[in-house]
Structure formats: structure tokens, C-alpha cells
Amino acid sequence: MENPIQIAQQALFVLVLGAAGYLLFKRGSFIRRNILLGKEVEQPGDKGARIRNTILIAFGQKKMFERPLAGIMHFTIYAGFLLINLEVLEIVLDGLLGTHRLFAGIFGDFYSFLINFFETIALLVVLACVAFLARRNIMRLPRFHKPEMKGWPTSDANIILIWEIVLMFALYTMNATDSILQSRGAEHYPVVGEFAISQSLIPLYQGLSNTVLIAVERTAWWMHIIGIMAFAVYITYSKHLHIFLAFPNTYFANLEAKGKMKNMDSVTNEVKLMMGLPAEEGNEEEEVGTFGAKDVQDLTWVNVLNAYSCTECGRCTSVCPANLTGKKLSPRKIMMDTRDRAEEIGKNIDQHGEGHDDGKALYGDYISKEELMACTSCNACVDACPINIDPLSIILDMRRYVAMEESGTPMEWNAMFQNIENNQAPWAFPPTDRFKWADEIKSVKS
């Protein structure tokens, strides 16, 4: 006859797993819907190049290693997240099947090596998390303490790092108490060998009775697996959503030269027609509702995906020449604001239905003209991002709105625009005089 307590544990585990799965699905659907608020766009570039980028940049962390120390620590946590999932798989199967250390019977003597390997990885993860906490809170690196990082963004980063340390401690406690119960021949605790790191915790629990040890081991087991499930749900509300979205974000990243700016086809066609040139086929009938972007719906879905993928690491802002010279612009804030506005629109849709106007917009309520006008379009932020996020494309689209819908560009810009329209150059002289400077140089040399 099966143990009633074991049956109850299995039922509780299925309930917890089902609840976590439901919350993940619900939140995932919400995020997907929000990303698709953006307009359709076709990203040029072949699949082979995109897959290569995804492997090197998202999976291989290539751009992280441009700053070697941070790259190594980040890769340690990332590798630990991937590798320890094999032990998580065992825990999930044990919870569903009512077994204990299921893989010990499958892998045999190799099982002990696997657990020791996972424990070593877990220790490296703990050390990396401690180092990251020190960099943020003791060394106080400037890019982690910009104005946009006040409040929740700073707390979010610390919560995740502490959470990971607690999860690893629960793992070590589970293994240490399990080892003692193995040595005592306790029922349901098969002998699988010593564990490398958790052995050091055995003296803390050695004096406890078997009943108390089982209670501690089961508590640590539940803490570890529930903590992981809660972690999976939590990161969908956190900047750490990049754990999942870095892969599609890198795949759909722009593969064209960074200095190439995309023009609006409809405007390009109008200019060509004015100049007596043939317009592009297929775009003659294009209707333009808004020039540029005022709100999230005016951006592309790739822009919104970028926003949800942002790690808030601040590498973009730390190399932004406008920000470095005291301007208000922060590329990281642009991405955070875009994500926050998409969240707000998504909640409005859920509460009031499609088409609800809350009287707000990304431009004006979240991102100011001052920020947009400060951008030099240098692409330093795009180049610095570890997962190929493109803040500049959002800035340019919003600045296009300022110029073409509001006519709100600075006077100096307007003079330049007028010169380009009239003289095909930024300077106030006719096209026939454009090469006089060369004639003057020739006369000086002769």
C-alpha cells in the first residue's frame, strides 16, 4: 500500500507545478500580445547569419567578454543556470513520480560525479553573485546608479542575486542532510556517495535525529524547487526576462550596417516623384497615418521586443557621448520607458478593451523632446549592447515624429532642413557653388 503522506506530497507538487505553469503561460501571453502591439516589419538578412548571431551572441555570450571580468562572472551564472537544470529535472520527476534521486538508478556511479559537478558549479554561481552584489552596492559602479535606476530597478537586481544565493544554499542543505540520512541507512535514501561541497555543512546537522533530518531535507527540497518555480514566474516581471528573450531578440536583430538609417518608403517615393525619378514598386498606394512614432503602437514589434529584452546593464548609457557630457539622454532609459509604456497599454487593454485611450503616450509622458534631441546618432549604444538591442531606432522614429508631425525641431535644424530642400546641401548657397572650395584650393596651389 502506498504511503498516504507520499501521495499527498505528489498531489501538492502537481498542484504547485500546475500553478507555476499557469502563471507562466498567462504572463507569457500578456508579454507576447504587448510585443505584437508594434507594427509589422521585415528584417533583412539570411537565416544562416541570424542563427550564427544567436549562437555566438545569445548562447555564447560573445559581447559580454569585451569586459572580461564581468563576462566571466556572467557566463558562470549563465552556465550554472543551464547545467543545474538537469538536477532540477530530477527533482521535478521525483516530485511527480514519488521517487527519490531517480537518476541515481539510471546513471549509477556516474551520478555521484554529476552531483559533485553541479555543486561545484553552484559554488561558482554563489561567488559570482556575491561579486555582482559587491559591484552594485559596495563599489557602486556609476552605470548602476544613474537616475533611471533609482527604486525598483536597483532592488530588482539585488533580489535576483540574493534569490540565487538562497536557492544554492537550499541545494547544499538538501544534499548535506541527504548524505547523513544515507549514512544512517534511512528508508528511501539510497547510498549514492559523498557530495563535494555540501559535505562541509554536515557538522551543522549531524546531531539531529532522523525525523528532524528528514524534515530539514524535505523543507530544503521544497524550498529549492518552489524557489525555482517562483523564480521562473518572477523573472517575467523583471529585467532578467532577457534569460529567455535574448535568443529571439538576437535572432531578429538588424544585420545591416549600423550607420545605415531606414527611410520611410512613402516619403522616399514622394521625393523621387518630385525629382522626376521612378518610385519604388509596391509602395505607391501606401497610406501613412503618422510620420514617426509617438506611442508604442507606432514602433515595430522588434522595437518592443528589444525593450522587453533589455538587461538594464547600462553598457549603452556608459558609452553614450550625450550622457557622458551631462545631457538628459540615457539609451537604457529609452528602453525601460518603452517597456513600461507597453506594460501600461497592455493593462489598459485587459481592463478596458482594445482602442482605449488613456490620454498618455510614450513621447511626452515617458520620453521627453530634450532626450531625443540630445542623441548624436553615433550608434555607440547599439554597438555596446550585449544582445544587440537597438535604442537608436526608437530614438530616430520618435525624433521623426517631432520633426514631421510637430515641426518641433530646433531653429538650427530647421535652417538646415530648408537648405537641404532648396540647395540639396546643409549650407546656404546654391548647388552650382558647391565645388567652389575646390577651385579656391586649386588657385592657391597654382
Which run of H or E residues covers position 426?
Answer: none
Q: How far apart are CA 401 and CA 424, in angstroms?
A: 22
Q: What is the pLDDT of residue 446?
A: 63
Q: What is the mean pLDDT of residues 337-343?
A: 98
Q: Cα-Cα-Cα-Cα dihedral of 408, 410, 412, 418, to 10°?
A: 0
Distance CA 198, CA 178 (A): 10
The residue with greater pLDDT, 317 or 86, is 317
The more confidently predicted of residues 3 and 53 is 53
Q: In this model, does residue 13 exceed pLDDT 70?
A: yes
Q: What is the mean pLDDT of the segment spanning 25-35? A: 97
Distance CA 369, CA 357 (A): 22
From 86-90, 118-122, 201-205, 265-269, the region with the lowest mean pLDDT = 265-269
pLDDT digits (tens, 9 = 90+) for 385-418: 999 999 999 999 999 999 989 989 888 888 888 8
Residue in 302, 333, 329, 305 with CA at minimum distance from that of residue 241: 305
Q: What is the mean pLDDT of the segment spanning 324-347?
A: 97
Q: Are 168 and 178 in contact (CB under 8 A)?
A: no
pLDDT at 31 over 80: yes
Q: Cell triple for residue 64? A: 559580454
- The span from the CA of 338 to the CA of 308, in Å, is 8
CA 92 to chain centre: 27
pLDDT at 288: 58
Indicate whether 287 pLDDT > 60: no
pLDDT interval class at 343 (50, 70, 90): very high
Alpha-helix runs per DSSP H in 138-264: 152-183, 202-205, 210-234, 242-251
Give the count of alpha carbons within 13 A of 4, CB side only: 0
Band the pLDDT of 175: cuts 50, 70, 90: very high
What percent of the chain stands above pLDDT 70? 96
Q: What is the predicted pLDDT for the residue at 355?
A: 86
CA dihedral 400, 404, 407, 410 (to 10 degrees): 30
Question: Exposed (0-12), middle (13-18) or buried (19+): which is 100, by Cβ within 10 Å?
Answer: middle
Which pLDDT does position 445 carry in this prediction? Answer: 67
Burial class (CB in 10 A: 0-12, 13-18, 19+), 421: exposed
Residue 40: pLDDT band (50, 70, 90) is very high
- CB distance 251 to 51 below 8 Å: yes
- Alpha-carbon distance 339 to 348, whole Å? 14
Q: How far apart are CA 12 and CA 222, in angstroms?
A: 11
* pLDDT average, residue stretch 7-17: 91
Please give the Cα distance from 405 to 158 (Å, whole number): 42
Give the Cα-Cα-Cα angle 7, 13, 18 (nearest 5 degrees).
130
Q: What would the mean pLDDT of 346-350 be, rounded to a whole number?
A: 96
Q: What's the CA angle centered on 243, arms 150 and 367, to 5 degrees?
A: 40
Query: d(Cα 161, Cα 168) in Å, to the nearest integer?
Result: 11
Predicted confidence at residue 248, as pLDDT, reads 96
**Cβ(160)–Cβ(235) below 8 Å:** yes
Check whether 283 has a pLDDT greater than 60: no
Mean pLDDT of 159-169: 94
> Residue 39: beta bridge partners?
300
Q: What is the pLDDT of residues 204-255, one digit of tens each?
A: 999 999 999 999 999 999 999 999 999 999 999 999 999 999 999 999 999 9
pLDDT of 349 higher than 80 = yes
Cell of 124: 561558482
Query: Exposure pattern of 291-326 as b/e (b: 16+ CB <10 Å)?
Result: bbbbbbbbbbbbbbbbbbbbbbbbbbbbbbebbeee
pLDDT at 417: 85
| Amino acid found at 252 | F
Average of per-residue pLDDT across 410-435: 82
Q: How far apart are CA 224 and CA 100, in angstroms?
A: 15
CB 410 within 8 A of CB 375: no
- How far is 146 from 143, CA to CA, in rounded Å? 6
CA–CA separation, 302 and 50 (whole Å): 14
Q: Quickly tell me which residue has 531578429 as its cell.
A: 252
Look-up of cell digits 559523498: 194
Looking at this protein, which amino acid is placed at residue 10?
Q
**Beta carbons of 291 and 267 less than 8 angstroms apart:** yes
Residue 285 pLDDT > 50? no
Amino acid at 103: F
